[in-house]
Chain A
Amino acid sequence: MGKSSKDKRDIYYRRAKEEGWRARSAFKLLQLNEEFQIFKGVKRVVDLCAAPGSWSQVLSRELFQNQKQEDAKIVAVDLQPMTPIDGVTCIQADITHPKTLHKILDTFGGEPADFVCSDGAPDVTGLHDLDEYIQAQLILSALQLTTCILKPGGTFVAKIFRGRDIDLLYSQLSYLFERVVCAKPRSSRGTSLEAFIVCLGYKPSKNWEPKLELNKSTEEFFEGAGIGKSDNLEHLDFPVDEGRTIGTFLATGDLNDVDSDATYRPGKERELVPVQMPTAPPYKKALEMKRRGDLVRR
C-alpha cells in the first residue's frame, strides 16, 4: 500500500525537509485542515500511530505557537519510539491493545479530547484481504478510543485505504458522526489508495455506552453500538444485509498545488492557455453544498 521508492525525487519530501517536518505526511494534515478547519477550537488531541511525529509537530505548532493555548494537551502513540516534541506526551504502545487505550484515557485524567487522529498503516503482507483487515482493525481501535474519549461534536480523522470494503466502514462511521467525508489531500499520491476519512461532529450513540474491557476484541466492543454491524452469530449465516455506503469524496488542497505524481523540472513551467474558458465542473454544485454541510441525507 505505502510506497517509498519515489520519495527522494518527490517535491513534498524536499519541502518537508526545508520546513522542518519529520515526514512529508505533515502536508496531508495541513491540507486536510485547510479544507475542514479541524484545528479550530481544539485543545486536547490524541495523535495515534504518530511516529516519526510530523502530525504531532503540526499540532504542537498550531496549538501552542499559533493559538497560544498554554494548557493544550497532545498525546502521541506509536509502536515505534519517537523523538520528543515540545508539549507532546509520547507513549510507545500498540493501539490495538485495550491496555494502551486505558493508558491514554488515564493520561487525559477523565477529560474529553477534542480531536482524535490516526495515520496508522500496518506493514503490508501483499495478501490484500489480510492487509485490509489489519488496517480496518487499526481504524476500529482508534474509533474505540474515540468513542471513549471524544467530546460530542468532536472530530476524528483516520487514514484509510480505499479497498473493497471501504463502503462498510463508511456506513459504520456515518452512524456516529454528523458528517463523514473521504478526503484525498493533493500531497497524497494519486497512485496510492491512501485517503483520509474525516468524521465531523461526533454524536455518541444514545443506547450504548462504550466500555473498554481488557478482554474484549474490537468486534465485541462495538456489539450493540448500533452502527449497522451485522449480528450473525446465531446461525453463523453469511451476512448479506450489511450496511454499505459510498462515501463522499473530496480532493483537498489547491489543484494548483504541487502534484505528488508529477516529475518536477524546476524552471520549465509553462501554462498553456485555452482558447475557450472552461465552465464549472459537473460536481461543483454538489461539492459546494457539501462544503456548507447542506446536503441532506436520505
Chain B
Amino acid sequence: MSIPPQNTISSVEEQLLKPLSHYGPVTSLKVFQNYVLAGYGPILKVFEVVNNETQLISSQQLFKRNKIHHICISQSGDKVCISGSRSFRVLSLVDTLNNTPSLEEKAINEWITCCEFLDDNTLLILNSHNTVYTVDVSSKASQFILSDKVHCNEKSILYSGSIRLLDDGRVLIAAGTVMNGVIIWDYLTKRIIYNFTEHEGSIFGVQIDSTGKFMISCSDDRSVKLYDLQNGKILANGWGHGSRIWNLRFFKDQSNGLRIMSTGEDCTIRLWRYEPGHDLIQVELLENAHLGKHIWSGDIDDEHLKLFVSGGADGKVRVHDLIGRNNVQEFSLETISAKIGKEFHTKENIKQYSELPHLNLLIIITSHGSIIQYNQLSNEFTLLELTPEESAKFYDFSIMKSLCEINVILIACRNGDILQLRFEGNATQPQRSWIEESQLGNSKLTNLLVASSNSSHYSLTDCPNTKVPFILRKYSDSGVETSFLQQPQQTSFTTTDMTIDSTNSWLILGSRYVSLAIYDISNESDQVTIFKKLSQGDTITSVSIVRSQKNLLTVLLTVRDGVYLYVNISKIDGEFQYEIIHENKLSRGFIEGGFVQNNQLILYGFKSSYFYLWNESKQIEIYNEICGGAHRQWEFFRQDFNSKFIYINKSTLCIKTFNARFVKDFGVINPGTHGREIRSVCISPEAKNGSRLILTASEDTTVKLGKLHSNGSVESYWSLNHHVSGMQTIKFFNQTYAASSAANEEFFIWKFSELDAIPIVIEYSRLKPSADIPDLRIMDFDAFEYENGFIITTVYSDSTIKVWYFDISEKRFFLIIEDRYTTCCILNVNFLFLNNRVLLQIGATDGHLSIWDITNKVATGGEVKSLDEMIIKQQLHQNGIKAILPVKQAGSYEIITGGDDNALILSTLAFDQEKLKLEVKSFIEKAASSTITSISSSGDAKFLVTSVDQIVRCWSYKNYELSCESARYTTIADTGCSDSVIDDGQVILAIGGAGLSTWKLA
C-alpha cells in the first residue's frame, strides 16, 4: 500500500517564528493551596495568591498543539497532570511552580475526557469512549506503561466526565454522554451503578462530591441537576441559565450547606443553594463576568483561599471573593425607631441620606425632618437634636449633601436655608449652624450641588427663576463665603452635577440635553459660557475631572442613556472652547455616574432592575445589586476601592457594602481580549515610546483599541460599541485616522489621540447607507491621502464598487465613482500607484483579480462617474481570493494572493509600454491544508500567511520562486486575520481568530 504524500509544510524551521503573547479561551482552572492553575490553551499559567494579592509566577507552553482542558493534582500534592485532546503531561508540582517542567508531553489514541491520580504513580485517564486507561507514571524517564483498559460495557461518546476517589477506596466514574445521559460506574467492579436520563441533549459537565453522596450534571437543556448517589434519586433542578452550561463545582457555605457553582455559554456565574425538598435556589448571579460568550472554566476553594475563579472565551482569568459577598444590611423604619427610642409619624419615611466615610457615619433625614445618625462601626443609631421648628422646615422637602473631606453635612430646605452639621471624631452630636438664604425671594430651591477641589469645598444653590443667580458658597473652618453666578438665560437649564477645577478656577455645571455651563470663578465679571448638545443623548448625570493643566481641562461627562465623553476645555482669547476627544457608548443600560481611578474608567448605573458598578477599561462588572425598578431612591458612595450602594426598597433602608478583596485590576489576574472571534486586526503605522496602537474587530461587533508593546504584549484600553452589524474589516489610514466596515453598510472613520499616554478615540464620521434598509456588507475598503482628506473606496457584497472623497474638516463623503463588478461578492480592494496612474484592484469570490485605471476620475467631488473597462481581469484562484498583499517596487508591483483553494500565487504587475500586464510568477497549489485567510508583509521578498489549518507560514520569493521558510502551529483557532509591522528590522505579527496572539520573526 502506498503512503500518501506528506504535508511537508506543517512544521518548518519553527525557531524562526517565535510566539510572544497569546490571549485566548481559558480552557481549565484549578485552585490548589495558594495557587491558581490556568489552562490557557496549550499554556499552563500559575498564579500565586498571597494576602489577597495575586501574581503570575509561571507561564509555559506545555503542549505542542493541544489545549489544556483538565488539570488534576495527586492527593499527596506532589504531582500535577494536565490533559486535553489526546495529550497529557505529568509534572511535579514543584517543577511546575518553578517553571522547570519535567517529563514530556504524552498522548493516548483518543480524546481525553479527564484524568485523576489514583496515587502518585498511577494515573487514570477517562477517554471519550467511556474507557479508563490505567497508566503507570512512575518512570522518571517518561517510560509510561498502559497497565489496564477498563470499561463498563457502554461505550457511548462522552462530552464530559469526572473521576472521584472515595475514602472507602471506591473509584466512581461519572460519564456525561452525547445522547444517553449520565452513566455512573465503578472503576473496580466495572459495573454501571446508575444511568441518569433526566437531561435532554448532551451532558457538558458532571461532578461527584467528595463524600460520594451527591452528583451534579448540566447539559444542553440549560438545567443543573442534583442527584442522590445513595438511592439514585434526582433531588433538585436548577433553572436560570439562558444557554448551555459548561462547568459545575460543589462547595460548602459557612454553615456547611450544600452549594453549587455553575458557569456557561451565557457568560454568567451562578451560585446555588440546595435545600431538601426544593429546587436549587440561585443565591447569586454574576452577569457579564466575562466578555462575549462562554465562561468555559471555573473552580472554587471554600476552605483555604475562600475564592472562586472563572475563565472565559475572552481570555480573562478572574478571581472572586467567596466570603464577602452579598453584604447587604437592611433597616426598616420600625427597626430604627426601636433603636433610637422615638416613634415615627405614621406617614414618615426616609427622605435623604448621606455618608461621611471618614467617620463611618450615615446621616439620614425623614420626610418629617427627623435626622438620624448611624454609626456603621458601632452599629448604633442616634437621633440628632433638632427643635420642632427646625424639623418642620424639612417637612416633605430636603436635599442632603455631604462634604466628606471636612465631615460636613448640608441639608437644604425649600426656601433655600441650609442646615450645616459639622461632625467631630468622637462627639455624638454635631455642631449645628443655619445658613439663611435671602436671595431666593419667592422662588424655591430646586437643587443643591456640592463639589470639592483640592482643599476647597463648595455648594451651589439652584432655583428655577433664571433671574436669581446661582448661589455659590465656599466652606472652610473660618466660615462660609458666598458669591453669585449669573444663571444661563434659558428656561431649560436644569443643573444635574457640578465640578470645580482648582488649577484654573473653573466651575462646570452639567445639565440636560448634554449641555454644559462653564464659569471662570476667579473673575467675577466673567459671563457664563454654554455648550449645548455636545453629543446625542439626554441628561448629563455626572461631570468629573480627568486631567487638569493650566488652561487645559479634561472632564468626563456621563450621559444617562449610555454615552460617555472626555471633553477638553480651554480658554482661547478669553473665550471657552471645547473639543470632544473621546466618546463611546455603553451597551448596558443607563449611566448614573462615573469616575477615573488608577487610570481606569469606572461607571455605574442601572439596567432593568439592578444597579451595576462597571469597570469600563477592564470590561468587567465589579458587582451588581438587584434593587427593583421604577422610582428608585438611591445613593452611591465610594472610598478608594470600596463602595456602598444605599437604596430604599419597600421603605426599608438597604446598604450594600462592597469591600474589594482583590484590589489590583479588580481581580482580573490575566488580561484578555474579545469574547468572540476576531475578524480583523490592524496595527498603527507609527510607534511611540516603543508602542503602537492596535485595533481588533470582533464577531460581537465590538472594536477594541489597545497598545501593542514592543515585547508583543497587548494592553487593551477601550471597547467601542458603535457598530451593530457583523464586522468585516478594520484598517489604519495613517497614525490619526482609521476606518472599519461591517454589514448593513456600516462604515465608520475613527480619530485617535492620547491622554496622558492613554490612547483615546472618537467616531469621527460615518457613511450614510445607500438604502433605507441596508442589507449589504461592506467587505473591504482602501484609502489614500488626497487634498484635504482621503480618497476612499468601499466594495460590497452585491459586487458594487464605490469611490469617495472624504473631506476631513467638513466631515463629509462625496461619491465620485459608482459601478458594479458582476453579481458576485467582492472580497478585497486596493489602490495601486504605477506610472503616475491610480489603479483600483479587486479580488472576488469568483477567484478573479480585476484592475481598473481610475486616474482621471479622482476628484474632490463633481458628477458620479462609472468605471471604464477593466484593464486586467484574470482568474488566479478556483474560488474566493481571501487575501491580497500588493508589494510596491520601483515601477512595478508584486501581487501575492491567497485563496480559499489553499493556493498561494505570486504575480507581477507592471506597464509594458502602455499596457498593464499581470504575470503569474510562482504558484503553490497546496500552500496550506485549509483556506488561506491573510497575508502580511515581513520585509524584503518575504511575507507571512495565516490559514485555518492553524499554521503560520513565512514564505520568501527570491528570484520569484515561492518557498516556505518557516511554518509553525498557532494556538489561535479559526485563524482569520493578521497584520504586521517592522520596527528596526524586527517583524512583529499579530494574529486574530478565536483569540489574539503576537509573534516575532527571527
Contacts and interface: CB of A to CB of B under 8 A. Distances in A.
A244 B871 contact: no
Contacts of B142: 235, 237
A255 B10 contact: no
A282 interface: yes
B67 A166 contact: no
Nearest to B676: A126
Given A128-B994, A190-B900, A261 B845 contact: yes
A133 to B, nearest CB: 5
A82 interface: no
Query: Most B CB atoms within 10 A — which of A219, A228, A231, A268?
Result: A219
Contacts of B949: 162-164, 166-167
Contact of A272 (B775, B820, B901): B820
A62 interface: no
A3 to B, nearest CB: 10
Contact of B153 (A164, A175, A215, A268): A215
Interface in B759-801: 775-777, 796-799
Query: Most A CB atoms within 10 A — which of B5, B66, B798?
Result: B5
Interface in B121-170: 127-129, 131, 135, 142-146, 151, 153, 155-157, 159
Nearest to B906: A282
A260 to B, nearest CB: 9
Determine chain A's interface SS by DSSP, over half rule.
loop
Given A127-B27, A205-B1, A268-B820, A193 B107 contact: no
Nearest to B131: A217
Interface string B935-970: 000000000000011100000000000000000010
Contact of A164 (B65, B244, B296, B820): B65
A276 interface: yes
B845 A262 contact: yes
A264 B798 contact: yes
A96 B65 contact: no
A231 B179 CA distance: 29
A272 B204 contact: no
Contact of B821 (A237, A248, A272): A272
A292 interface: no
B880 A261 contact: yes
Interface in A124-153: 125-130, 133-134, 137
B930 A128 contact: no
Interface in A70-113: 79, 94, 96-97
Contact of B973 (A163, A234, A258, A282): A163
Nearest to B313: A126
A262 B879 CA distance: 13
A217 B880 contact: no
B878 A249 contact: yes
B390 to A, nearest CB: 64
A79 B10 CA distance: 36
Contact of B874 (A133, A272, A278): A278
Contact of A262 (B110, B799, B905, B973): B799
A219 B129 contact: yes
A247 B903 CA distance: 11
Contacts of B186: none
A205 B2 CA distance: 11
B879 A279 contact: no
B709 interface: no
A281 B879 contact: no
Given A272-B870, A274-B873, A298-B5, A259 B820 contact: no
B931 A193 contact: yes
Interface string A203-234: 00110000000011111000000101111111
Given A190-B845, A243-B6, A244-B7, A274 B876 contact: no
A275 B870 contact: yes
Contacts of A126: 265, 293-294, 313
Interface stretch (B507-515, B684-692, B733-741, B919-927): B919-927
B6 A244 contact: yes
A179 to B, nearest CB: 11
Contacts of B797: 261-263
Given A261-B845, A278-B873, A283-B878, A171 B4 contact: yes
A246 B7 contact: yes
Contacts of B879: 184, 186, 190, 251, 255
A123 interface: yes
B27 A236 contact: no
Determine chain B's interface SS by DSSP, over half rule.
loop
Interface string A154-175: 0000000011101100110011
A250 interface: yes
B603 to A, nearest CB: 29
Contacts of B848: 278
B249 interface: no
Nearest to B823: A269
Given A219-B110, A245-B4, A270-B822, A259 B872 contact: no
Contacts of B135: 236
A232 B25 CA distance: 29
A193 B930 contact: yes
Given A126-B265, A245-B4, A163 B107 contact: no
A238 B872 contact: no
A9 interface: yes
Interface string B791-830: 0000011110000000000000000000111111100000
Contacts of B882: 190
B379 interface: no
A128 B974 contact: yes
B477 to A, nearest CB: 62
Interface string B463-496: 0000000000000000000000000000000000
A270 B870 CA distance: 13
A170 B146 contact: no
A18 interface: no
A228 B825 contact: no
A251 B900 contact: yes
A272 B146 contact: no
A226 B7 contact: no
A68 interface: no
Contact of A271 (B265, B822, B876, B900): B822
B846 A259 contact: yes
Contacts of A264: 798, 823
Contacts of A41: none
B157 A96 contact: yes
Contacts of A79: 179
B109 A272 contact: no
B929 A243 contact: no
B900 A238 contact: no
Interface in B226-261: 244, 246
B588 interface: no
Contacts of A186: 879
A174 B7 CA distance: 13
Contact of B5 (A163, A237, A245, A274): A245
Contacts of B179: 79, 94, 97
Given A127-B27, A162-B948, 7 more contacts: A94-B178, A162-B930, A171-B6, A217-B127, A239-B107, A255-B847, A270-B819
The 6 closest A-B pairs by CB, nearest first: A274-B873, A128-B973, A174-B4, A217-B129, A162-B930, A251-B878
27 contacts: A79-B179, A96-B178, A125-B159, A128-B994, A130-B159, A137-B157, A163-B950, A164-B930, A166-B930, A167-B929, A184-B900, A184-B901, A190-B882, A233-B109, A235-B144, A236-B135, A246-B902, A246-B928, A255-B846, A255-B875, A259-B825, A259-B846, A262-B845, A272-B821, A274-B869, A274-B873, A282-B903
Interface of B: 1-7, 9-10, 25, 27, 64-67, 69, 84-85, 87-88, 104-111, 127-129, 131, 135, 142-146, 151, 153, 155-157, 159, 178-179, 201-202, 204, 220, 244, 246, 265, 293-294, 296, 313, 775-777, 796-799, 819-825, 845-848, 850, 867, 869-880, 882, 900-903, 905, 915, 920, 923, 925-926, 928-931, 948-950, 969, 973-974, 994
